[in-house]
Structure 1
Amino acid sequence: MANILQSAGMVFSLLNYFTLQKSQWGVRELARETGRSPSVVQRALNLLEQEGFIIQNSISRTYQLGFRCIELGHLAGQALAFSQIAEQLLSPVVEECGETVFIYRRRADFAVCSFILENQKHFRFTAQKGDRLFLHEAPFTQIVLAYMSGDEQADYLQRHHLHHDISLRDALKLWKLQGYSNSREAWQPHTQGISVPLFDAGNRVTGALCIATSDMREDLIIYKDLLFSAADKFNRFF
């Protein structure tokens, strides 16, 4: 049973690689990206295609998301109303701090921007929903990596050849110790940010709740408790 579940997990994990930035994949290309053999990836893609989760372009022979994903996305959007609930929970945060709030949700080795609530009066960001970063790329996504289990974190660092990156390891330890990540100009010039982890019902880290603004504004550390409180409310719903 365990092997069957692991195989099913591997098959469905391939869907995480289809994004706004990269919506089509060839078999060998996806095999290189995932570190798996082309034959294994091909069998997995065949299963996903049979169930309608992906379709193959008859000319390029690449794969893209299929109608079943569209159906499920539409159903989830109606049932969960994620953006509406997130806006209700986070509007008080934006009103109190006067800054932009982001939600990044973990998808395999990536953090995907799934929600943005902007304060129209202040600093505007170029980030948009659907943008994704590797978990190690910025402090506001590193908080997710910091709260992953030891084995899972070690596997991630090994996959991305970061197991000897002392500065990253030290940063992850600091984020875990203090419970949040904060930085200035680490991702975009003239910006600052603070981020706290989000968890599921099993206390597994699923993403990050972030506030970002201009580095000319007051230090965002003063909103740490506000962000923790909002994250706690958010975790109860998701």
Structure 2
Amino acid sequence: MALKTLDNSLEVLKYFSKENPAWGVRELAKEMNISHSIIYRILATFENHGFLNQNPETKKYELGLRFLEYGQMVKEKLNLSDFVLPIMKKLSEEIKESVFLTWLDGADGVTVEIAESSQTIKFSVSMGTRTPLYIGASCKTIMAYLPEEKQKDIMNSGMKKLTTETITDPEELLIDLEKIRTQGWCFTTGEYAHSVFGLGVPLFNNKGEIIASLTIAGPNYRKPVEEKLPDMVKVLQYAAMSIQRYFDQFSFKLYHE
């Protein structure tokens, strides 16, 4: 019973996302199909330990600052800001678009570092943004280098469209992933957000396992992206090589095998 309670508790946390950052007891109980009394005890326990806060006006629960503390600990462990962020900022200044480092976490990609474009209009996401691996350049770049069995598990878990350009047909997606693996980079337009392009390249640990991706993203209207694609790939790969040399010195592993 204790293990079941723990499993339910951890499952509750997964429902707090950028799209749904706050939940009331009854609405979350209905969403999870679990007794509201059980959900209340779980939420109250998380609140007592600082993992959740209850908004006094809406009575809904939101993520607490304890997660920020843990997130900072993970970031410091990876030591990304000291070495990787300057490379990303230099790339962003050169390409005049935002640059993102996306880390593999289970069936998702998580944004762990950002160098934002200096342009007034730019594409941006928040640190910690979690996206399914089948959507967009940053995540599909990672998915392309996963074992075939893992790719099929992700597809069999169900795929939903974020935009009309999101690929959710398994056969079409497998063809796309093979193309990415063959050419060594992924270019998408409008898959994650309308009128936004993404260009990603893979990053590996010292065992040759895919662990992350480096991605350039920005609005389509700014320039004829396809015409400048070869040059963009070249500068992105050069920056990725510098980061890769850093990764090769450490035993970074997959968050979830």
Instruction: Please report the TM-score for the alignment, with normalisation by the length of structure 2.
Output: 0.64
139, 142, 149: which one aligns with 1:141: 139
1:71-86 paired onto structure 2 within 5 Å: 71-76=69-74, 82-86=80-84
Distance 1:31 1:196 in 2: 40
1:83-102 paired onto structure 2 within 5 Å: 83-102=81-100
Letter of the 1:136 counterpart? Y
63, 67, 70: which one aligns with 1:69: 67
Residue 224 (structure 2) pairs with residue 216 (structure 1): yes
**Residue 203 and residue 189 in structure 1: after superposition, are their counterparts in 2 closer, same or farther (change >3 A)?**
same
How far does residue 222 in structure 1 lie from its aligned partner after superposition? 3.2
The secondary structure found in structure 2 opposite 1:148 is coil
How far does residue 201 in structure 1 lie from its aligned partner after superposition? 5.7
Are the counterparts in 2 of residues 54 and 65 from structure 1 also a CA contact under 8 Å?
yes
Consecutive unaligned residues of structure 2, counting only runs of 5 or more, are: 161-167, 253-257
The secondary structure found in structure 2 opposite 1:38 is coil
How far does residue 204 in structure 1 lie from its aligned partner after superposition? 4.4
Distance 2:106 2:25 in 1: 19
How far does residue 232 in structure 1 lie from its aligned partner after superposition? 0.9
How far does residue 144 in structure 1 lie from its aligned partner after superposition? 2.0
The secondary structure found in structure 2 opposite 1:87 is helix
Are the counterparts in 2 of residues 93 and 227 from structure 1 also a CA contact under 8 Å?
yes
Aligned residues: 232
User: Residues 151-207 of structure 1, C-alpha deviation per residue, up to 9 Å, x if partnerless?
Assistant: 332222112157853222211222223332123455556654320123456654333
Counterpart for residue 232 of structure 1? 244
1:36-55 paired onto structure 2 within 5 Å: 38=34, 42=39, 52-55=50-53
Letter of the 1:198 counterpart? L
Distance 1:18 1:110 in 2: 15
Distance 2:126 2:215 in 1: 14
Distance 1:151 1:176 in 2: 16
1:126-165 paired onto structure 2 within 5 Å: 126-130=123-127, 131-161=129-159, 164-165=169-170
Letter of the 2:125 counterpart? Q
**Residue 12 and residue 97 in structure 1: after superposition, are their counterparts in 2 closer, same or farther (change >3 A)?**
same
Counterpart for residue 197 of structure 1? 202
When structure 1 is superposed on structure 2, of 149-158 and 59-68 the one drifting more is: 59-68
* C-alpha RMSD over aligned residues: 4.2
Distance 2:8 2:201 in 1: 28
Are the counterparts in 2 of residues 28 and 38 from structure 1 also a CA contact under 8 Å?
no
Instruction: Please report the TM-score for the alignment, with normalisation by the length of structure 1.
Output: 0.68
Are the counterparts in 2 of residues 118 and 124 from structure 1 also a CA contact under 8 Å?
no
Counterpart for residue 111 of structure 1? 109
Distance 1:56 1:201 in 2: 43
**Residue 27 and residue 205 in structure 1: after superposition, are their counterparts in 2 closer, same or farther (change >3 A)?**
farther
Residue 179 (structure 2) pairs with residue 183 (structure 1): no
**Residue 226 and residue 156 in structure 1: after superposition, are their counterparts in 2 closer, same or farther (change >3 A)?**
same
Letter of the 2:131 counterpart? L
Distance 1:201 1:11 in 2: 35
